[in-house]
Amino acid sequence: MIFLEGSGKEFAGPPLSLEQLDADPLRQFFTWYQEAARTEAGDPTAIALATSSREGRMRSRMVLLKAIDERGFLFFTNYRSRKGKDLEENPQAAFCCFWPVSLRQVCVRGAVEKVSTEESNAYFQSRPVLSRLSAWASPQSEPIPAERAFLENRLREMQERFAGKEVPLPPFWGGYRLVPDEIEFWQGRSNRLHDRFLYARIGDGQWKRTRLAP
């Protein structure tokens, strides 16, 4: 066995109490996100998203959270990707985000649904043109030739195909909304005695809040 050495940094963040938390976990998440957007060096929208096949084989990857609404958390991808195929077979997912400067993490799990074509298109058209063309060019998660030239050639083909035109939303690309049934807020504290609070959905718009042992 080889023990791995971390930074040795002490988790000495501020206290977190039940009274400090918003009754709505989505509003609480947005409050923490806004603070992270001001203080974190990395991208505060980065999340580790876990999905599972029908047989329960798990996969995780980093994706970017792109929106929050009153129903849940939105991210966008190729529907034919590995995550897309997992979600077609098993429309449940979980994600975790970690904000190291503030020593905070949020863990979320719940059901996943596709967003409307209108919502997907609104986000897609907000992306830079080359990002939209790349969505058309990349057969995401599929085996391709080892040479990067394959992708670069595909991108050039898409540039020629849509030259002088608006790049439309691909029929195989769009958004998902993770509708949470559990959201946990974690604040790092000294001596590994972290503050953890779990929101569990108990009804329409109703949440039960519980402190968890670290």
* 105 known ligand binder: yes
- Determine, yes or no, domain membership for 11: no
| Full residue range of the structural domain in which residue 61 is found | 18-126+171-212
- Determine, yes or no, domain membership for 133: no
> Considering its fold, how many domains does the chain have in total?
1
- Determine, yes or no, domain membership for 117: yes
* 61 known ligand binder: yes
- Determine, yes or no, domain membership for 9: no
Tens of pLDDT, residues 14-45: 999 999 999 999 999 999 999 999 999 999 99
Report how far residue 26's alpha carbon sits from residue 29's, in angstroms, rounded to the nearest whole number. Answer: 5
Tens of pLDDT, residues 70-126: 999 999 999 999 999 999 999 999 999 999 999 999 999 999 999 999 999 999 999
Q: Is the pTM of this model over 0.75?
A: yes
- Determine, yes or no, domain membership for 143: no
- Determine, yes or no, domain membership for 149: no
- Which residue numbers are catalytic? 192
* 64 known ligand binder: yes
CATH of the domain at 183: 2.30.110.10
Q: Name the residue among 80, 45, 78 with its Cα closest to residue 63.
A: 45
* 34 known ligand binder: no
